[in-house]
Structure 1
Amino acid sequence: MNAPRSGSLPIRALNTESSTREEEPVSPTARLLDSMYIVVTIGLGASINQPDIRAGIQAQLARHPRFCSIQVTDEFKDGNPRWVRATVNLDDHVVVPGLDPDAVAADPDQAVEDYVASLSTLPMDRSRPLWEFHFLDFPTSEAAATVAVRVHHSLADGMSLLTLLMACTRSAADPTRLPAMPPPPARSGPVFARPRPPASAGALPFALWLWSYVVLAWHTVEDVVAFVAMILFVSDPHTLFKRTGGSDLRRRKRFVHTTLSLDDVKFVKNAMKCTVNDVLVGTTSAALSQYYFRESGDTDTRKLICLRSILVVNIRPPASLHRVVEMIESGESTAVKWGNKLGHIILPFHIAMHDDPLEYVRTAKKTVDRKKSSLEALFTHVIGRVIVRFFGLKAAAAIFSRIITRASMAFTNVIGPVEQVQFCGHPIAFIAPSIYGAPEALTIHYQSYNNSIKLVLAVDEAHFACRRLLNDFTSSLRRIRDAAALQQGSGQRQS
Structure 2
Amino acid sequence: MGQLAGGNNRDEAPTTPLTRLSIHPKHNHVILCAIGLKNPIDIAALKDELSNSIMIKIPRFSSLLTVDPHHGTEHWKKTHVNLDDHIFIQHDDDDDDDDGGDAINCYLANMAISSPMSLNKPLWEVHIMHQHKCLILKVHHAVADEQGPEILWDGPVYILFSAVFLFQFLAKCLWAKDKETVISGIEGVEFWPRKVSTASFSIADMKAIRNAIPNVTVNDVLYGIIWCGLTRYLNIRLPKAVQDGVQITGICPVNLREKSGVQDVSTMLLEKSKAPWGNKIGVVLLPITYFQQELNALDYVAQAKEVMDRKKHSTVALLCYNMANLVSNLFGSKIGGDCLYKLSCNTTFFLSNIVGPQEEISIATNPVTFIRVTSSSQPHAITMHMASYAGKGYLQIQVAKEVIPDPEFLARCFEDAFLEMKKDANNCVRCH
Q: Shared fold (TM-score greater than 0.5)?
A: yes
Q: Aligned-pair distance for 1:256?
A: 2.0
Q: TM-score, normalised by structure 1?
A: 0.78
Determine the C-alpha separation between the residues in 2 that align with 1:318 and 1:281. Answer: 23
Q: Tell me the secondary structure at the aligned position of residue 484 of structure 1.
A: helix
Letter of the structure 2 residue corresponding to residue 305 of structure 1 = V
After superposition, the Cα gap between the structure-2 partners of 1:239 and 1:231, relative to the gap in structure 1 and judged at 3 Å, is same
Determine the C-alpha separation between the residues in 1 that align with 2:194 and 2:317. Answer: 27
Letter of the structure 1 residue corresponding to residue 39 of structure 2 = A
Count residues with an aligned counterpart.
Answer: 416
Gaps of at least 5 residues in structure 1 are 1-7, 140-144, 161-190, 194-212
Pair 1:457 & 2:400 matched:
no
1:210 match: none
1:459-495: CA deviations, max 9, x gaps?
A: 1122211111011110010111112222332x23xxx
CA contact (8 A) 1:43 1:431 kept: yes
CA contact (8 A) 2:206 2:422 kept: yes
CA contact (8 A) 2:262 2:355 kept: no
1:441 match: 381
1:436-455: CA deviations, max 9, x gaps?
A: 24211111121121111111
Letter of the structure 2 residue corresponding to residue 280 of structure 1 = L
Q: Aligned-pair distance for 1:348?
A: 1.1
Q: Aligned-pair distance for 1:367?
A: 0.6
Residue 112 of structure 2 is aligned with which of 120, 125, 129? Answer: 120
CA contact (8 A) 2:111 2:376 kept: no
Matches within 5 A, 1:160-199: none
Q: Aligned-pair distance for 1:85?
A: 0.9
1:357 match: 297
Work out the percentage of aligned pairs sharing the same amino acid. Answer: 25
**Which piece of structure 1 moves more, 376-385 or 349-358?**
349-358
Determine the C-alpha separation between the residues in 2 that align with 1:429 and 1:319. Answer: 24
Q: Tell me the secondary structure at the aligned position of residue 154 of structure 1.
A: helix
Residue 71 of structure 1 is aligned with which of 65, 68, 72? Answer: 65
Q: Tell me the secondary structure at the aligned position of residue 104 of structure 1.
A: coil
Matches within 5 A, 1:293-442: 293-298=235-240, 303-318=244-259, 321-322=262-263, 324-328=264-268, 332=270, 337-352=276-291, 353-442=293-382
Matches within 5 A, 1:196-345: 216-244=158-186, 246-273=187-214, 274-298=216-240, 303-318=244-259, 321-322=262-263, 324-328=264-268, 332=270, 337-345=276-284
Q: Tell me the secondary structure at the aligned position of residue 128 of structure 2.
A: strand
CA contact (8 A) 2:32 2:138 kept: yes
Superposition RMSD on alpha carbons, in Å? 2.7
After superposition, the Cα gap between the structure-2 partners of 1:314 and 1:401, relative to the gap in structure 1 and judged at 3 Å, is same
Q: Tell me the secondary structure at the aligned position of residue 358 of structure 2.
A: coil
Determine the C-alpha separation between the residues in 1 that align with 2:129 and 2:121. Answer: 23
Q: Tell me the secondary structure at the aligned position of residue 283 of structure 1.
A: helix
1:42-87: CA deviations, max 9, x gaps?
A: 11112111111111111112221001111111222x2111111111
Determine the C-alpha separation between the residues in 1 that align with 2:232 and 2:354. Answer: 25
Q: Aligned-pair distance for 1:300?
A: 8.4
1:348-376: CA deviations, max 9, x gaps?
A: 12323434211101101101111111111
Q: Aligned-pair distance for 1:153?
A: 1.0
Q: TM-score, normalised by structure 2?
A: 0.89
Letter of the structure 1 residue corresponding to residue 365 of structure 2 = G
After superposition, the Cα gap between the structure-2 partners of 1:106 and 1:467, relative to the gap in structure 1 and judged at 3 Å, is closer
Letter of the structure 2 residue corresponding to residue 261 of structure 1 = S
After superposition, the Cα gap between the structure-2 partners of 1:373 and 1:106, relative to the gap in structure 1 and judged at 3 Å, is closer
Residue 96 of structure 1 is aligned with which of 89, 93, 101? Answer: 89
Determine the C-alpha separation between the residues in 2 that align with 1:348 and 1:119. Answer: 29
Determine the C-alpha separation between the residues in 2 that align with 1:427 and 1:469. Answer: 30
Q: Aligned-pair distance for 1:223?
A: 0.7
CA contact (8 A) 1:11 1:128 kept: no
Pair 1:482 & 2:423 matched:
yes
Determine the C-alpha separation between the residues in 2 that align with 1:137 and 1:11. Answer: 33
Q: Aligned-pair distance for 1:20?
A: 2.3
Which has the larger helix fraction? 1
Letter of the structure 1 residue corresponding to residue 14 of structure 2 = P
Determine the C-alpha separation between the residues in 2 that align with 1:192 and 1:71. Answer: 31
1:186 match: none
> Which of these two proteins has the greater Rg computed from alpha carbons?
1
Residue 466 of structure 1 is aligned with which of 407, 428, 431? Answer: 407
Letter of the structure 1 residue corresponding to residue 394 of structure 2 = K
1:218-252: CA deviations, max 9, x gaps?
A: 100111111222233311111132113x3253333
Pair 1:26 & 2:19 matched:
no
Determine the C-alpha separation between the residues in 2 that align with 1:192 and 1:89. Answer: 42
After superposition, the Cα gap between the structure-2 partners of 1:296 and 1:480, relative to the gap in structure 1 and judged at 3 Å, is same
Letter of the structure 1 residue corresponding to residue 136 of structure 2 = A
Q: Tell me the secondary structure at the aligned position of residue 412 of structure 1.
A: strand
Determine the C-alpha separation between the residues in 2 that align with 1:349 and 1:270. Answer: 23
Determine the C-alpha separation between the residues in 2 that align with 1:92 and 1:325. Answer: 24
Letter of the structure 1 residue corresponding to residue 128 of structure 2 = F
After superposition, the Cα gap between the structure-2 partners of 1:360 and 1:218, relative to the gap in structure 1 and judged at 3 Å, is same
Determine the C-alpha separation between the residues in 1 that align with 2:36 and 2:167. Answer: 43
Letter of the structure 2 residue corresponding to residue 306 of structure 1 = Q
Determine the C-alpha separation between the residues in 1 that align with 2:387 and 2:22. Answer: 21
CA contact (8 A) 1:441 1:459 kept: yes
1:156 match: 144
After superposition, the Cα gap between the structure-2 partners of 1:105 and 1:349, relative to the gap in structure 1 and judged at 3 Å, is closer
